[in-house]
Structure 1
Amino acid sequence: MGELETEEQRTRAEVATYLRELADQLDDDGEVTLELGNRRVTLEPVDPITFKLEGESDWTAGEPEAKQSIEFEMVWRRAVQGDEDASLNVERTDQ
């Protein structure tokens, strides 16, 4: 088991570049490497993939700003032989 969940502020252009690179990796039918901040994880997506997309706006009357977000999630199931196949190795990239 393992999980990589992290966040950092980026420009719209930086996010677009990151998503394009992720899309290119998905097109290649091999491993997908996710890097954010000083952490990295490599996954091997397989078909079929369940794709979830959510857009949200959260605002309270009287507040000067609304918090808006776009979230997406991709889920797939893959065959495993044991713990090693099922685990997720999150690496630190600042060592």
Structure 2
Amino acid sequence: MPEEVLFSSEQQYSREEIATYLHDVADKLAAGEAITLSSGSESTTMDPPARPTFEVKAEREGPAGNMTELSVEFELEWDEADSGSESSDSELRIE
């Protein structure tokens, strides 16, 4: 199935500003509340289930031998009809 982008925003922020956004998302998740993303006239609200899949990925991108960009990606995934009851054998640690 092709991917449909429901919301997209990309710009540079300070580490402190990024931390504030991540704290806001964490607070919504901890409270079991929906997350609304908005920028200008664009907006979408998503309500993750109790146990979505959490993917963390660190990448190096660029031409072979000349690495140009590093990234850390945090992603929540779930099927629209998913109850989120699946679990994993290993525990993620972020230090």
Query: TM-score per shorter chain, which class?
Result: 0.5 to 0.7
Q: TM-score, normalised by structure 1?
A: 0.66
Alignment of 1:1-95 (within 5 A): 3-35=6-38, 37-38=39-40, 39-58=42-61, 60=63, 61=65, 66-79=68-81
CA deviation profile, 1:11-52 (whole Å, cap 9, x unmatched): 1111111000010011111211123x4232111111221111
In structure 2, the gaps of 5 or more residues are 82-95
Unpaired segments ≥5 residues, structure 1: 80-95
Report the aligned-residue RMSD.
2.2
Distance in 1 (CA, whole Å) between partners of 2:51 and 2:78 is 6
Task: Name the structure, 1 or 2, with higher relative contact order (CA <8 Å, separation 6+).
Answer: 1
Deviation at 1:59, TM superposition (A): 5.2
Higher radius of gyration, 1 or 2: 1
Q: Percent sequence identity over matched residues?
A: 32
